[in-house]
Amino acid sequence: MKNWIAGAVALTATTAGAQAADEVTLQLKWVTQAQFAGYYVAESKGFYDEADLDVTIKAGGPDIAPEQVIAAGGADVITTWMAAGLAARERGVPLVNIAQPFKTGGLQVNCLKAAGIESTDDFPGHTMGVWFYGNEYPFYAWMAKLGIETDGADENGVTVIKQAFSADPLINGQADCISTMTYNEYGQILDAGITEEELVTFNYLEEGVGMLEDGLYVLAEDLEDPAFKDKMVRFVAASMEGWKYAEAHPDEAAEIVLEYDETGAQTLEHQQYMMGEVAKLTASSDGTLDPADYEQTVATLLSAVSPENPAITKEPEGAWTHEITDEALN
Q: Is the CATH number 3.30.450.20 carried by domain 107-203?
A: no
Q: For position 110, what pLDDT does the model report?
A: 98
Mean pLDDT of 8-24: 64
Taking the CA atoms of residue 257, residue 168, residue 122 and residue 143 in that order, the dihedral angle to the nearest 10 degrees is: -60
Contacts of 192 (CB under 8 A, 6+ apart): 167, 171
Q: Please, what is the Cα angle at 46 between 259 and 19, to 5 degrees?
A: 125
User: For the domain 4-103+212-328, what is the CATH code?
Assistant: 3.40.190.10
In the chain, which residues fall in CATH 3.40.190.10? 4-103+212-328, 107-203
Confidence category of residue 133, pLDDT binned at 50, 70, 90? confident
pTM tops 0.85: yes
Instruction: Give the integer Cα–Cα distance in Å for 65 and 56.
Output: 17
pLDDT above 90 for 146? yes
Distances (CA, A) of 66 to 20, 30, 110, 261: 27, 9, 28, 19
Do β-strands 53-58 and 177-181 pair in parallel, antiparallel, or remain unpaired? unpaired
Q: Which range among 234-243, 284-293, 301-310 shows the weakest confidence by mean pLDDT?
A: 301-310
